[in-house]
Chains A and B, each alone.
Chain A
Amino acid sequence: MKELEYPFDVDYLIKNKRKIKKKLLLNDNFIEKRIAILGGSTTSEIKNMLELFLLNYGIKPTFYESEYNKFFEDAMFGNEELDNFNPDIIYIHTTNRNIINYPTMYDDIKTIDEMLENEYKKYESIWTKLFEKFNATIIQNNFEYPYYRLLGNKDASDVHGRINFVTRLNQKFYDYASEHNNFFINDINYVSSCYGLDKWANQFYWHMYKYAMEVPAIPYLSFNLANIIKSIYGKNKKAFVLDLDNTLWGGIIGDDGVENIRIGKEVPSGQVYAEFQEYLKDHKALGIILNINSKNEYENAIAGLKHPASILLPDDFIIIKANWNPKNLNTKDIAEELNLGADSFVFVDDNPAERKVVADYVEGIATPEIDQPENYIRIIDRNAYFEVTNFSEEDLKKSELYRDNSKRSQMMSTFDNYEDYLKSLEMKAEIASFKPIYLERISQLTNKSNQFNLTTKRYSLSDIEEVKNDDNYIKLYGKLEDIFGDNGVISVVIGNIKNKDELHIDLWIMSCRVLKRNMEFAMMDKLVEKAKEKNIKTIYGYYYPTKKNKMVNDFYDLQGFTLKKSDEEGNKVYKLDVDKYVNQNNVIEVNE
Chain B
Amino acid sequence: MKDEQIYERINGVFRDIFDDDSITVNANTTADDIEDWDSLEHINLIVAIEEEFGMKFNMNEVTTMKNVGEMVEIIKVRATK
Query: With a CB–CB cut-off of 8 A, which chain A residues contact B77?
Result: none
A16–B17 CA distance with the chains assembled, in angstroms: 6
Offer 16 A-B interface pairs, CB within 8 angstroms, sorted by A. Answer: A14-B44, A14-B47, A15-B13, A15-B16, A15-B17, A18-B17, A19-B19, A45-B40, A45-B43, A45-B44, A205-B43, A208-B59, A208-B63, A215-B44, A215-B47, A216-B47
- In the complex, the answer to whether A11 meets B40 with C-beta atoms within 8 Å is no
B74 within 8 A of A: no
Query: With a CB–CB cut-off of 8 A, which chain A residues contact B18?
Result: 18
Query: With a CB–CB cut-off of 8 A, which chain B residues contact A42?
Result: 40
Interface of B is mostly: helix
* Known A11-B51, A204-B59, A208-B62: A16·B44 in contact at CB below 8 Å: no
Mark out the residues of chain A between 11 and 25 whose CB falls within 8 Å of any chain B CB in the assembled complex.
Answer: 11, 14-16, 18-19, 22
Q: What size tier do the contact residues of chain B reach?
A: 10 to 19
Interface of A is mostly: helix
Query: With a CB–CB cut-off of 8 A, which chain B residues contact A22?
Result: 19
Interface string of B5-38 (1 = CB under 8 A from A): 0000000010011110000000000000000000
Query: With a CB–CB cut-off of 8 A, which chain A residues contact B44?
Result: 14-15, 45, 215
Interface string of B52-72 (1 = CB under 8 A from A): 000000010011000000000
Tell me which of B16, B43, B62, B63 contacts A16 (CB under 8 A). Answer: B16
A207 within 8 A of B: yes
A216–B46 CA distance with the chains assembled, in angstroms: 11
* Known A15-B13, A16-B16, A208-B59: A44·B40 in contact at CB below 8 Å: yes
A216–B43 CA distance with the chains assembled, in angstroms: 11
Q: How far is the CB of B23 from chain A (nearest CB, A)?
A: 12
Most interface-central of B17, B18, B62, B63 (chain A CB within 10 A): B17
- In the complex, the answer to whether B59 meets A11 with C-beta atoms within 8 Å is no
A209 within 8 A of B: yes
Query: With a CB–CB cut-off of 8 A, which chain B residues contact A14?
Result: 44, 47-48
- In the complex, the answer to whether A207 meets B47 with C-beta atoms within 8 Å is no
Number of residues from A at the complex interface, CB < 8 A: 18
Q: How far is the CB of A184 from chain B (nearest CB, A)?
A: 27
Query: With a CB–CB cut-off of 8 A, which chain A residues contact B17?
Result: 15, 18
A359–B18 CA distance with the chains assembled, in angstroms: 31
A44–B38 CA distance with the chains assembled, in angstroms: 12
A18–B47 CA distance with the chains assembled, in angstroms: 16
Query: What 17 additional pairs, Cβ within 8 angstroms, besides A16-B19, A18-B19?
Result: A14-B47, A14-B48, A15-B13, A15-B16, A15-B44, A15-B48, A15-B51, A18-B17, A18-B18, A19-B16, A44-B40, A45-B43, A208-B63, A211-B43, A215-B44, A215-B47, A216-B47
A15–B14 CA distance with the chains assembled, in angstroms: 9
A216 and chain B: residue at smallest CB distance: B47
Q: How far is the CB of A366 from chain B (nearest CB, A)?
A: 27
Mark out the residues of chain A between 182 and 210 whose CB falls within 8 Å of any chain B CB in the assembled complex.
Answer: 204-205, 207-209
Query: With a CB–CB cut-off of 8 A, which chain A residues contact B59?
Result: 204, 207-208
- In the complex, the answer to whether A11 meets B62 with C-beta atoms within 8 Å is no
Query: With a CB–CB cut-off of 8 A, which chain A residues contact B19?
Result: 16, 18-19, 22
Instruction: Give 9 closest A-B pairs by Cβ, nearest first.
Output: A18-B19, A44-B40, A15-B16, A11-B51, A15-B48, A215-B47, A209-B43, A19-B19, A14-B44
B12 and chain A: residue at smallest CB distance: A15
Query: With a CB–CB cut-off of 8 A, which chain A residues contact B40?
Result: 42, 44-45
- In the complex, the answer to whether A11 meets B48 with C-beta atoms within 8 Å is yes
A390–B71 CA distance with the chains assembled, in angstroms: 50
A42 and chain B: residue at smallest CB distance: B40
A209 and chain B: residue at smallest CB distance: B43
Query: With a CB–CB cut-off of 8 A, which chain A residues contact B63?
Result: 208
A580–B19 CA distance with the chains assembled, in angstroms: 62
Query: With a CB–CB cut-off of 8 A, which chain A residues contact B62?
Result: 208
Query: With a CB–CB cut-off of 8 A, which chain B residues contact A19?
Result: 16, 19
A18–B36 CA distance with the chains assembled, in angstroms: 11
Mark out the residues of chain A between 209 and 227 whose CB falls within 8 Å of any chain B CB in the assembled complex.
Answer: 209, 211, 215-216
Query: With a CB–CB cut-off of 8 A, which chain B residues contact A207?
Result: 59
A204–B13 CA distance with the chains assembled, in angstroms: 22
Most interface-central of A14, A22, A207, A216 (chain B CB within 10 A): A14
A204–B51 CA distance with the chains assembled, in angstroms: 15
Query: With a CB–CB cut-off of 8 A, which chain B residues contact A216?
Result: 47
Query: With a CB–CB cut-off of 8 A, which chain B residues contact A205?
Result: 43
